[in-house]
Amino acid sequence: MPGVMRRNDSKLAAALLAAALVGGPGPGSSTAHAQDEESESTPWDQGSIGLSIVLASQDAFGDSYIVVGAGVGYYFLPGLEVGLQGVQWFGGDPSVTVVSPELRYVAVPLGWPLLPYVGGFYTHYFIGDPFADADSVGTRLGLMYHQGGGLIVGVGAAFERFVSECSDDCSTIYPEISVGFTF
């Protein structure tokens, strides 16, 4: 938070991304065609839905918090996801609730097992009294690894800048790690 919250870069947030639900073949498709489509599908196909669970730690307001949350994303074009994430911070005072919509692109056309991603996000921090709520915008980039099967691993970094009133260092860079499973 501007002036009072600082991310602890030594503590990595672990996010469990789950469920890229890809639709099956349409009516009238042959079995061979269905198997080809299934083997070529990716977790980032158009129409895929992703669910996430967030577990992290955060130091702010002189307290250490445990961060727990969830998110949902929808790939409206291959590799292009719109998502929404909400988290609650536990174990400190004041209470903090966070809502963050994002847009992310995974470079699926490259066809590699290691795919770059880039994204942008807006975050609103609902902070308990006596502090004012805060807003930030940011970008993230990194690499996703998918070698088939259901496992996805991602590593990257995010840059976040507070756009609401800020008295201290108004920006931060922090690492991100994700492990996902597709169904």
Other residues' Cβ atoms within 10 Å of the Cβ of residue 28: 6
CATH code for the domain defined by 13-181:
2.40.160.20
pLDDT in the model for residue 171: 93
Higher pLDDT residue, 50 or 182? 50
On whether the CB atoms of residues 22 and 50 are closer than 8 A, the answer is: no
Q: What is the DSSP letter of 31?
A: H
pLDDT in the model for residue 21: 27
Sequence spans of domains, the chain: 13-181
What element of type H or E holds 123? strand 114-127
On whether the CB atoms of residues 63 and 35 are closer than 8 A, the answer is: no
Whether residue 130 has a cis bond before it, omega within 30° of 0 = yes
Q: How confident is the model at residue 149 (pLDDT cuts 50, 70, 90)?
A: low
Mean pLDDT, residues 25-36 taken together = 37
pLDDT in the model for residue 127: 95
Q: Which amino acid type is present at position 70?
A: A
The pTM (predicted TM-score) of the whole model is 0.75
* Measured distance CA(4)–CA(96) in Å, rounded: 13
The size of the chain, in residues, is 183
Q: What are φ and ψ of residue 34, in 5° steps? A: -65, -40
Taking the CA atoms of the chain, what radius of gyration do you get in angstroms?
Answer: 18
Both structure tokens of 93:
């005072």
